Structure 1
Amino acid sequence: MKRRILSCTCVILIYVLTIFSSEVYSTTHTVSVMNFAFTPSNLSVTVGDTIKWQYVSGFHTTTNDGSAGTSRPSGAPSWNNQINSSNTQYRYVITVPGSYTYICLFHPSMVGNFTAVSPPFNLNLVALMEGFWDGATLIGDTVKVSLHNSVSPYNIIASEMVKLSSAGTALVFTNVPGGNYYISVRHRNSIQTWSKDPVTLTSNMTTTYNFTTSLNKAYGNNMILKEGKYTFYSGDVNQDESINLTDVLQIYNDATVFAAGYFVTDVNGDNISDLTDVLIAQNNANNFVSVLKPAI
């Protein structure tokens, strides 16, 4: 009996979460229909929203059925409904992103438009930089997180600049359709690192991608284990996608003058360029560390 109750509870919880995730961004937009005007005549909306045409006066239609003057994205359902004192409302749920133009059949000068974008999705990213991680905390620093097409040439679809913490960083990508994307992370003095495979990101949902839990979370296993976590290689201070003698010399030059502050040559994030930073880069240069990413 307890198992049966628990099973029912789980099903109900999953159902509620599904309803919540699909409705969290939904909005109803009201368009007043009166003599010779749709008000407002232009709207910016999100897939999942509802357009509600509300009768005010006159005898009209809201129509987008292929008639002259109408247009809608491929795959979007058509509509044609009278709006008058007997039929005071019509609702249309948007399922396809794109631009829509509708008219009143009785008054062709009555034209309305709305543009629909895909709802945002959330990416909860967890990542660490080798030099900035001491086994307990990560010195917070800014990284650029990019989403790439899952097929060659892997163009960047969207990017966000965020400050990482060891707890992970939540990013909200708007105007990007849900789909499969490679994730790349670029830091000012670390090796750019890509996700092993394209990651499925779903509109209205939060997806967590944690680079730190396994070596194979990175493309080509391109990370280093440090203090129990997998981290991005540090030392690419000139961002040429490899750690080599050029980087080591740049760090060494700053270390000889005791450069202090927010410098790319400060590989461990303690605001001082010194021998510690040189050694991190030297070790990675000895192993010919470079960016690994899908071949174009």
Structure 2
Amino acid sequence: TWTGTNINVNVNGNVSLLNNVTFSQTQLFSVKTGGTFSANSFTATFTSGTIEILTGGTVVNSGLIRTQNTVTINPRTGSAFNANLNVNTGTTTASELSSPYNARLYGNVTVDVGATLSVNNSNVYTLMIFANVINNGTISGSGDIEFQSGAHNLQGSGIISAEVNLLSGAVVNLLSNHQLRNVIINAGATFDITNRLVKFTITNPIVQNGTFITAGSDIEYNGTLIQNVSYINIIYVGLKINNPSGAVLQGNIVISDTLAMLQGDLNLNGRIITFTPDGYLSETSENVVFGTSGHMITTRTLGAPTALNVAGFGAILTTSVSLGSTEIIRGHAIQSGLNGGTSIQRYYDITPATNTGLNATLIYNYDDTELNGNPEPSLKLFKSTNSGTTWQKMGGTVNVIANRITLSGLSSFSRWTADSSDVSALVTIAMEAFYNPSTNRLNSADTIRAYLRNSSPPYAVVDSAKEIVNFITLNVGFQFNTATSGTYFLQMKHRNSIETWSNAGISYTAGNTMLYDFTTGTNKAFGNNQIQVDASPVRFAIYSGDVNQDGTVDIADGGLVDNDASAFVTGYVPTDVNGDSITDIDDAVFVDNNGLNFIGKVTP
């Protein structure tokens, strides 16, 4: 090990190692103008200080320069750092520390796991790469990495958080999956990511003016702030959205493999995504493609499909005859004129070459985020043969767990959407323990029953219905089959909540939809018998904890919860007061608090 304050290779000096050597100078290892340093097939390890190569100085391409701990490499313009560089541990900053701030590395660069190669923390710095890069650690900095004219391999399991810039004449072959901040492909440059996964983090990650070879590849947007999906001169094979803030399409694109919605949404933003016959859409719950304008489209030849989810769009088709060339469009513009109502935020245009005598079944999939205030249990399918000008109610059976509506016996296809405009009552309601103020949602959807009662004693039940409260919108739609027009109290009963009545009689007109929102104030419940559960937005809920449904929250309810909690009971049980499928102390808290406050039903 060589130590000291400064180590200099002076003018006309020529230093070659005869074995592996460690340099631990406290300040400077300097190769002066005209000086030459060679590791001479050995390894020169630097553990501190600055390696400076002045104009006209040379580090020979023989052996290896290895850095550990905190080291700075300052190759001046006109110097030749030809050796291979291995950043082994710690952080090595490679930058020309004076104008024009263009550091040049002519040898191969390797960054080991846990190590960092920094371009420096200002955008004036540029690190010019003339050979190959193996990055298993991090290449960072506010400056950019420039691949110069010539062939380069980029590989490794690391992250490049500095800007990557491919200059004219550069041909960069990606030999492994990699995480990048962004890339600029200049005219005359080539970036070949064939069969690789490349991830990008910044808002506008790809500028493409050269050649971008994407065969068999996946491009993933995985930032944390909303990202714009680049489109100019880019052919997407596979595209992944993995950003909780989502992404926005900036132009029309084509998908020939899979568009995977892993996390966050993709806003169509008025653009069109065309899926080739091999293209497919993969969505997960609440991580979907959406947009008030724009659409997705695919055309493919279909035989007589059996439960075929064409292109993954969510329209599942079964027919008894061959459809031939079939175009399917999925859009998210709200459709109007459906029995006076408006649709959920999804529609399908299904246009097969053969479109008569199909004896078809359509399974219409949707996402909870698209309900547009429609009560999910009451959704029905509507059909339009003139692109949405007029509509015909077709019906169907809704499955609120699977988020789908099934309709059989169809002779033809056309435009399809869903709506619940013909329900008797649309009620907005929350259950205290189910409501989560951090998400402004219920922990889960759950069944609730509504009764219409006469507005005068003895308040006899006139009609009732049972449906499921949507956990996002807090809406639930009810169909009353026998009630005639009149004024009725609305009584709500939930499996472990306090029975709650409307504050007064409500006018109901048979054939129209009665609207009532319990969540806007305590005064919406008879006797002000509700509790505030959220400050933003301000929301109120019916009291939780009446596990045995005797009209009060008391020690009997607490005993039931405590017993089930001690037995580690899980699943859909009355003692699961907060709807998380586990009976535990979280449920007991609501029961105990409401018991201490003598909470019970208040009725006329």
Give the alignment's TM-score, normalised by structure 2.
Answer: 0.29
Q: Deviations over 1:212-251 (max 9, x none)?
A: 0111000000011002311011000000000001101110
SS of aligned partner of 1:131: coil
Contact 1:145 1:159 in 2 (8 A): yes
Residue of structure 1 in register with 2:447 after alignment: 142
Contact 2:462 2:482 in 1 (8 A): no
Letter matched to residue 585 of structure 2 = L
Distance 2:477 2:571 in 1: 28
Q: Offset at 1:121?
A: 6.7
Residue of structure 2 in register with 1:126 after alignment: 428
Q: Deviations over 1:131-189 (max 9, x none)?
A: 11102112210011100011100011111011011421122212311110000110010
Contact 2:565 2:584 in 1 (8 A): yes
Change over 3 Å in CA distance of 1:258–1:121 after alignment to 2 = closer
Distance 1:275 1:260 in 2: 13
Distance 2:563 2:509 in 1: 47
Distance 1:258 1:271 in 2: 11
Distance 2:509 2:596 in 1: 41
Matched pairs, number:
178
Contact 1:121 1:178 in 2 (8 A): no
Q: Which runs of 5+ in 2 are unaligned?
A: 1-336, 341-421
Residue of structure 2 in register with 1:239 after alignment: 549
Which is higher, the Rg of structure 1 or of structure 2? 2
Contact 1:121 1:201 in 2 (8 A): no
The aligned runs of 1:66-77 (5 Å cut-off) are: none
Residue of structure 1 in register with 2:576 after alignment: 266
Letter matched to residue 587 of structure 2 = D
Q: Offset at 1:258?
A: 1.0
Residue of structure 2 in register with 1:76 after alignment: none
Residue of structure 1 in register with 2:224 after alignment: none
Higher helix share: 1
Aligned with 2:519 (options 212, 216, 225): 212
Contact 1:121 1:174 in 2 (8 A): no
Change over 3 Å in CA distance of 1:121–1:277 after alignment to 2 = closer
1:161 and 2:466 equivalent?
yes
1:184 and 2:491 equivalent?
yes
Equivalent pairs: percent with the same residue? 37
Residue of structure 1 in register with 2:602 after alignment: 292
Distance 1:189 1:133 in 2: 14
1:152 and 2:457 equivalent?
yes
Distance 2:559 2:423 in 1: 42
Dislocated runs of 4+, deviation >2 Å: none
Which structure has more relative contact order (CA 8 Å, sep 6+)? It is 1
Distance 1:174 1:266 in 2: 32
Q: Deviations over 1:235-289 (max 9, x none)?
A: 0000000000110111011111111111110000001000010011000000000
Letter matched to residue 218 of structure 1 = A
1:201 and 2:508 equivalent?
yes
Give RMSD over aligned pairs. 1.6
Distance 1:265 1:169 in 2: 23
Letter matched to residue 188 of structure 1 = R
Higher strand share: 2
Q: Which runs of 5+ in 1 are unaligned?
A: 1-16, 22-119
Aligned with 2:531 (options 214, 221, 224): 224
Contact 2:488 2:507 in 1 (8 A): yes
